[in-house]
Structure 1
Amino acid sequence: MERIVAGIVTFNPDFAVLADLVATVAPETAEVVVVTNSPMPAEERARLLDIAGDTPIHIDDPGGNVGLGEAYARIMARAESAVASRVILFDQDSSPPPGMVTALSRRLSALLAAGERAALAGPLPVSASPDHKPPTVHPHPDGRVVAEARAVWFAISSGSLIDIAAFREIGPFRGDFFIDAIDVEWCFRAWSKGFSCWLADDIPMPHRLGGGQLRVPVIGWELPVQSPLRLGTYARNQAALLGMGHVPLRWKTRICLYIAAQTLAYWLADGGRTARPRAMVKGFAAGLAGRLGPPRA
């Protein structure tokens, strides 16, 4: 039987959602690791320990916001010290249903048994509410379907079950990306090293992207509500991918066109206000220049 560690990264979380997440995944995992990128009150820590029941829970306080990439590194190191074979990652915005961890582990085992060098298997992200836009799925162009899973260019990190043996060969998540596109870069790197990434359409996971959604006048697009700082980091990290040889040319072409369209769309959605579009332009320029690390206002 596979030994699975669940890793959760938090930053000023809604504690009720976090508590439900821990209660759901603890019975299906050997240990739960929570990396707190913001201070967690002692009473909340005690409550999580109680909620986890018989499953050990390790609360890792790095002393500040180290970002997702570094938090994932801390989770993976803890999992390896616990002799785990698989890690499932979550952020505080996801609500996996009971049984999802076990179902994904079986699917990953089936993929490996079928001869696939699967680095991860992820659930189908769906909107947690009508006010949230679900993440977009990008199927791999080879169109493979194996063991009731389909090949995808990348899966969002939250909900992804990662094979630790594959992780050792692919390498760590990029800490200098801080947040956004960390999962994109890692999955592209996995494909370049002969591994593959998979998504199970029949295993849904409600996920909250941003703070809701904006409807763009005239063109009718729906965009996630994000702060200018977050949008700047998103554009920066996508621009950084342009200089990486393992990132497919079709993705580089797509992202340039898409970010240009998004920048205009946010300008329209915000009634001509420029805070978000300006942040995206500045972020994109920073990414091209290789200025990464924690986002700057």
Structure 2
Amino acid sequence: MKVVAIVVTFHPEFNALGALLDILNSQVDTVVVVDNCSGNDFYNWFNKFYAQKVHGIFLAENTGVATAQNKGIVWARTEGADAVVLFDQDSLPEHGMVNCLAMALKNEQAKGNKVAAVGPKYVDERNVDRPSFSRLIGIRLKKVLYEQEIVPSDFIISSGSLIPICTLDEVGMMNDEFFIDQIDIEWCLRAKACGYQSYGVCSTTMQHNLGEEPLKFLGFTLLHHSPLRHYYIFRNAIRLLFKSYIPLGWKLIFIRTLLLRFFLYSLFVTPRLKYCKMMAKGVWHGLKGRMGKFIPG
């Protein structure tokens, strides 16, 4: 299996990205970095990795995560890849992770299962109780326990996910119009509607921080994001409500989550007014179908 790693960057922290590229070089056939216009400093820093056979695609503007992933996938196809493994710039897989994922993929395919993606457990030391894998049971989302080596999951976070090219050929690419946020959920649920199952691989791990410093509220630890990120969270979730392949249970989860976030951030998290405006604008644009990169005004 020829595997190409796709790393999407946007003004990365150089040491963290360097550690990721170093460890990926020993785990995959080729690495391609798709950069969303991080500037000359990044380009000059990246030059040293060409000697390590790391390819670079430098975009003239910030096109968003989904578009950058798609450009990497197109490049991987030209390289004859059998699968791609996606990474955010601040993730760090353990040694042997990609091989472990590839073996899990082959095992499930050998059973006759149509595989959407396989992904590792992720470890966010700021929020250790957050589950890596979950499934919709009725109208509730239940975390999947790590009792087996490979477990079905409704979705896998994009960073660390290994996806066969043949699956992408049938399911389609990442949704460009989402720009950022919920890209992985949308794609995995779309794949599930096509008969493909995503799997979590409990025997391998990856360090990965979700969002900014988590928010503590009434004994709960919640993912924390900026007002701009909340615009995308609300807009994209609203758009998912109109997708026929999204199960009703998931739509109810999206609605419940948005209501909770709107209540919490508009009342208790500063800057409250800015959060309120961006969330409301996200709802309005989602209803209108105004997608892509947020343009103020």
Q: Quick check: 135-144 or 286-295, which moved more? A: 135-144
Q: Which residue of 1 is the match for residue 97 of structure 2?
A: 100
Q: How far 1:35 moved relative to its partner?
A: 0.5
**Aligned-pair CA distance for 1:159:** 0.4
Aligned to 1:175: 176
Q: Any residues of structure 2 matched to 1:231-270 within 5 Å, and which? A: 231-270=230-269
Change (3 A) 1:133 1:263: farther
Distance 1:140-1:260 versus aligned 2 partners, 3 A rule: closer
* Mapping for residues 189-268 of structure 1, pairs under 5 Å: 189-216=190-217, 219-268=218-267
Equivalents in 2 of 1:136, 1:278: separation in Å? Answer: 31
Q: Which amino acid counterpart does residue 214 of structure 1 have in structure 2?
A: L
Q: Distance in 2 between matches of 1:166 and 1:115?
A: 14
Provide Cα deviations, 1:160-179, integer angstroms capped at 9, x if missing partner. 00010111000111111000
Map of 1:275 onto structure 2: 274
1:109-128 to 2 correspondence within 5 Å? 109-127=106-124
Distance in 2, matches of 1:228 and 1:212, equals 14
Unaligned residue ranges in structure 2 (runs of 5+)? 139-143
Could you tell me the TM-score, scaled by structure 2's length?
0.91
Partner of 2:59: 62
**1:155 alignment partner in structure 2:** 156
CA contact (8 A) 1:134 1:207 kept: no
Identity of aligned residues (%): 33
Q: Shift of residue 221 of structure 1? A: 2.7
Equivalent residue number for residue 25 of structure 1: 24
One-letter amino acid of the structure 1 residue matched with residue 126 of structure 2: P
- The Cα of 1:137 is off from its aligned counterpart by 3.2
In structure 2, C-alpha distance between the alignment counterparts of 1:287 and 1:259, rounded to whole Å: 13
**Offset, 1:103:** 0.6
Aligned to 2:141: none
Q: Secondary structure of the equivalent of 1:154?
A: coil
Which of structure 1's runs of 4+ aligned residues deviate more than 3 A?
Answer: 131-137, 140-147
Cα distance change, pair 111–221 in 1 and its aligned pair in 2 (3 A): same
CA gap of 1:160–1:215, structure 2 versus 1, over 3 A, is same
* Aligned amino acid, residue 85 of structure 1: D
Q: Report deviation, 1:157.
A: 0.5
- Native 8 Å contact 1:144 1:151 kept in 2: no
Deviations 1:268-297 (A, max 9, x none): 442682222331222122112211110234
Match of 1:49 in 2: 50
Alpha-carbon distance in 2 for matches of 1:164, 1:139: 24
Distance in structure 1 (CA, Å) of the matches to 2:272 and 2:68 = 34
Unaligned runs of 5+ in 1: none
TM-score by length of 1: 0.91
Q: Equivalents in 2 of 1:43, 1:194: separation in Å? A: 44
Alpha-carbon RMSD: 2.3
Q: In 2 relative to 1, CA 186–203 (structure 1 residues): closer, same or farther, beyond 3 Å?
A: same
Worse-superposed segment, 91-100 or 160-169: 91-100
| Offset from partner CA, 1:216-256 (integer Å, 9 cap, x none) | 2xx33323332111111111101100000000110001110
Letter of the structure 2 residue corresponding to residue 192 of structure 1: A
Q: Judging changes above 3 Å, is the alpha-carbon distance between structure 1 residues 272 and 46 closer, same or farther for their aligned structure 2 residues?
A: closer
